[in-house]
Amino acid sequence: MEHGGGCRDDGLVSADEGRRPGGGFKGKAACFDAASGAVVWEFSTGGASATTCGVDRDGTVYVSAGSKVYALSPEGEQRWSYDLGTTADMPCVGADAVYVGSAGGKLVALDKQGGLKWETTVPGYIRSPSLDREGNLYCVASPFTLYAFDSSGEKLWEAKPEGDLPPGEALYEWANTLDIPSIGADGTIYAGSMPGPLKGEGGIPVSPGAAARGKLYAFSPDGRIKWSYSYEGSIPSEYLLIHSPSIAKDGTLYCGTSIWRVLAISPAGKLVWECNTGEGSDVCPSVYSPSIDSAGMLYAATTSGKMICINAQGQEQWRYDSGMPWLPSHVSNNMTPPPIGADGTLFSVMASGKLLAW
């Protein structure tokens, strides 16, 4: 899929054309054979849930679980681990380093042998970065902050598109941040936003104000806001999450949302179309930004266990429904955004550990 950054946000990442390493399972990472779906190997993470995997050009698999980052051989053998001392985000694999953010605000750069190259700390939760072609890092952190670092860890700038939020700690660790950004061919940085309630006086949830209605932001490489897009239609709750986009070859931005809809937005920040994937029939409304195949078809996974194919004009072509029952925790039915194999096969993993291929 077209994404723009040096790190992918796919639910799985391919080590080679025949194997699909995957995380997201409690206590293990696993590698599947792409043709048959058979488990090639499993790696125990000691009970902690594994994140999305990153894979290097030599086939080394990087995965985070709990506070640790693991490097695994293509055969699933541990090469090294590094402990951040706080919950680690999914690894981002660069040319010369592996970058990992964390819940404690620590961002580290590790060399390919597991040694610490540098670390920096910011207030709040910091996600792992996206990389541009020059090796600069773009990281989102709470509350609603985008940081830019060079490859040595020096901060280049920070941007707060929502300004200062009302006082109060985020009720959810991941909330009130921007989404991991996508980077366009011209260097524009696109980031959706993930709002959530704050802990007010006495622990009572309070709204973060205007920031509750998430937006898509476009930043220039020097941190200036080029434009922002806000969905103007009706929404089923106070909070609207807009995911960072998948980017088509013509520059069209395709964003998933927390309101059943996939949005197509022009490079100038104008809504082109919206596709409603299930309002009224689906009690779990979140849909991820879609993967894009070579013909421009879109494949959007949902937190309610569905895969939906949409054409470039916003018309649904087909859908797959796993039939998994919905639970408030979303654990049983979440379906990961699908990477697309060289032969056009789609791969997705459900939270239950089931690998699906189309």
Give me 315's structure tokens: 């018309």
pLDDT at 329: 54
CATH code (residue 41): 2.130.10.10
CB 40 within 8 A of CB 29: no
- Decide if 30 is inside a domain: yes
- Mean pLDDT within 85-94: 93
Backbone angles phi, psi at 185, to 5 degrees: -60, -25
- Decide if 225 is inside a domain: no
- Decide if 229 is inside a domain: no
- Decide if 285 is inside a domain: no
Domain count, the chain: 1
pLDDT at 167: 55
Backbone angles phi, psi at 209, to 5 degrees: 80, -140
Helix or strand or coil: residue 122? coil
- Decide if 60 is inside a domain: yes
**DSSP character string of 294-312:** TTS-EEEEBTTSEEEEE-T
| Domain extent for 50 | 1-128
- Mean pLDDT within 121-130: 91
Q: Is the pLDDT of residue 92 over 50?
A: yes
- Decide if 247 is inside a domain: no
pLDDT tens string 245-293: 999 999 999 999 988 899 999 999 999 999 998 855 555 578 999 999 9
pLDDT tens string 128-155: 999 999 999 999 988 889 999 999 999 9
- Decide if 279 is inside a domain: no
pTM of the model: 0.86
Residues 158, 139: Cα–Cα separation, whole Å: 9
- Mean pLDDT within 236-253: 91
Per-residue confidence band for 230, with pLDDT thresholds at 50, 70 and 90: very high
Residues 145, 211: Cα–Cα separation, whole Å: 12
- Decide if 73 is inside a domain: yes
- Mean pLDDT within 90-112: 95
Q: Is the pLDDT of residue 37 over 90?
A: no
* Overall size of the chain counted in residues: 358
Which amino acid is present at 233? G
Residue 338 DSSP code: P
| Lowest-pLDDT choice from 22-26, 53-57, 139-143, 223-227 | 22-26
